[in-house]
Amino acid sequence: MQASSVTYFAQQIGYQVPTLLGGLLGVILSIVFIGRQRLPASLALLGSITAIVGALVVAIAQSYLFSARNTFTGVPSSYLQLSMIIGWLGAISRGLAIALLVVAVFVGRKRETVQAT
């Protein structure tokens, strides 16, 4: 990789630091609580791992595409399509991670019983 590609990769990872830290915290807390609440902790663990992996894969793919732009032999519209596909995959992975975390919050809760007076 060229120096500009490494700089671009570092910049992309820098933008993902909040997601990576939040995902790492989610992994740690999920492992701590897996004994008490197995299903919610497992879903939170899966969501946290999805967030971490999605952020890393998108940053790596974008950096690779950025470094290959000078040697890209296709038409510019196909380069643009690849870039858009990477963006969509990142959005889908973030959405899946958030959905898993939301489900983890509500799964296993018992419904309150209301007594008639």
Residue 1: per-residue pLDDT: 53
Read off the pTM.
0.82
- Write the single-letter amino acid at 6: V
Q: Token pair for residue 40?
A: 């919610």
Rounded to whole angstroms, the Cα distance separating 107 from 110 reads 9
- Write the single-letter amino acid at 105: V
Residue 77: per-residue pLDDT: 76
Note the pLDDT tens digit of each residue in 44-94: 999 999 999 999 999 999 888 888 777 777 777 788 888 899 999 999 999
For the residues 8-34, what does the mean pLDDT come to? 93
Residue 100: per-residue pLDDT: 96
pLDDT greater than 90 at residue 111: no
